[in-house]
Amino acid sequence: YSGHSSADKTRSAHGVAIFLNKQAATAWKTLGSTWEAVNERIVMVRLACKPINVTVIAIYAPINSKNQQ
């Protein structure tokens, strides 16, 4: 999760996440894969795979502003 918690809310604000199933999460932890929150809208996950490593980039780009009035 790349977002940040808001001080005045009980929920987190903004952000993007990548979800892995149980098998993928176990492999991710075992093989020393990494993740990086580039900012609150971009997260990058590097998966140590064979024969090649895989990089997944998730980007959240809203198309509408919160208040259009």
Per-residue pLDDT of the chain in tens (69 residues, 90 and over written 9): 445 555 555 555 667 878 888 988 888 888 888 888 888 888 888 888 889 888 989 888 877 766 655
How far, in Å, are 2, 15, 21, 23, 31 from residue 59 at the CA level?
10, 9, 20, 24, 24
Global pTM exceeds 0.85? no
